[in-house]
Structure formats: structure tokens, C-alpha cells
Amino acid sequence: MKILLATKNRGKISEINRIFSDLPVEFVGLDTFEEVPEVIEDGKTFHDNALKKAMTYYNIASIPALAEDSGLEVEALQGAPGIYSARYAGENATDSENNRKLLQALSGLPPEKRRARFVSVLCLILDGKPFFFEGEVRGRILEKPEGESGFGYDPLFVPEGYEHSFGVLGEEIKNRISHRAMALKKLRHFLNDHIK
């Protein structure tokens, strides 16, 4: 079964193909299609955005389509940055600008008031119907970045049960316990049951 993955990032495409290599499924990227519109993520939730992307590309490609929306939710900020995680400090903000804004927003708060979670919502459109797979990892936000690994808010986020941020823990641990890893695990069970 071919599934269109809503990305042009070749690294992401090959990574997900590696993860699912034991199943009769092949993920192809948006770069395999001539004209692909940019989908404006204007939904109110991660589910809205993932659904909009997946349905748009399903309608173009006429094959199953998979899209994701994900972000960081901080308790003390009533769930912000949430769906605006990638553009928290502005439309074309860098990771370090977003991190700086988050640290300013949490300035002076003690560790117990810095609880947060990363959320990932995958939406698979199969035969025109949406199926959602969610994952989350809980943790807390540090007072300053640590480590060079990962991207986004990884240098600020310490997952529960660990002493260091994803920026220090590295890809191997992150890929095992992350919000995306949890959502992909659920997708794997689903595909295992649905493609024989």
C-alpha cells in the first residue's frame, strides 16, 4: 500500500519508511507530485490542522494520505504555544527566537510550575475517512537551553523520568519516548490490522 506523507522532507520520508519497513507499506512524499498547494494551517486544534492537510493531499493524490500537526503545550500558559508552536515568536521565527519568547513567558516560575507536554496528532485518510492517532510526552521546561541535539523546543524540554532535556538525551532516546513515537506506534497497530 502506498501512503502519501504530507512532507517534502526526504529525511522524514526515509525515516518513516525505516520504521514501517516490516509492513507492506511505502510512504511517498509530496515531491512525487507536480503541483502541490501549500496548506494554510488555520485550524483551532492539532486535529483540525492534521485533518485539513491529510484531506487536501488525499483529494489531490487519490491514495491514502498521512499528515501530522504537533506542538508544545505549557500548563502555566494555558496550553500555549500549542498550535502556534512553530511560529510562537512570529511567522518566520527561528527555534531560538521561539525558545527565548517561551523562557520570557515563564520567567521567575519555579520548576513545579513549568509543567508541559509535547503533543502529536497524526491523521490518516483511508478510503475518504479520517483516522486519528495521538501521542504525548509529559515533562517540564528548563530555565535555560541545554544540549545541541534535536530541534524546536527540545533543548528546553525535560521528559518525565529524565534529568536532561531532549537536546542532551539525543535522537535514539527521543525516537523511543517522544510524542511522535507514541502516535506512530498507534498508527503501526492500525496498519498492521488493516493491511493483510
Express each pLDDT in 53-86 by its tens digit: 999 999 988 899 999 999 999 999 999 999 999 9
Is 69 considered catalytic here? Answer: yes
Mean pLDDT of 81-105: 95
Q: Helix, strand, or coil here: 8?
A: coil
Number of residues that this document lists for the chain: 196
pLDDT at 35 over 80: no
- Whether 186 shows a pLDDT value over 90: the answer reads yes
Point out the catalytic residue in the list 48, 69, 127, 193.
Answer: 69
Q: Is the pLDDT of residue 146 over 70?
A: yes
196 pLDDT above the threshold of 70? no
**pLDDT given for residue 136 in this prediction:** 97
What is the mean pLDDT of the segment spanning 174-195? 91
What are the CA-CA distances from residue 74 to residues 46, 105, 117, 153, 160 (Å)? 15, 10, 7, 12, 14
Determine the average pLDDT of the residues in 9-21. Answer: 85
CATH code for the structural domain at 2-194: 3.90.950.10
The predicted structure's pLDDT at residue 195: 76
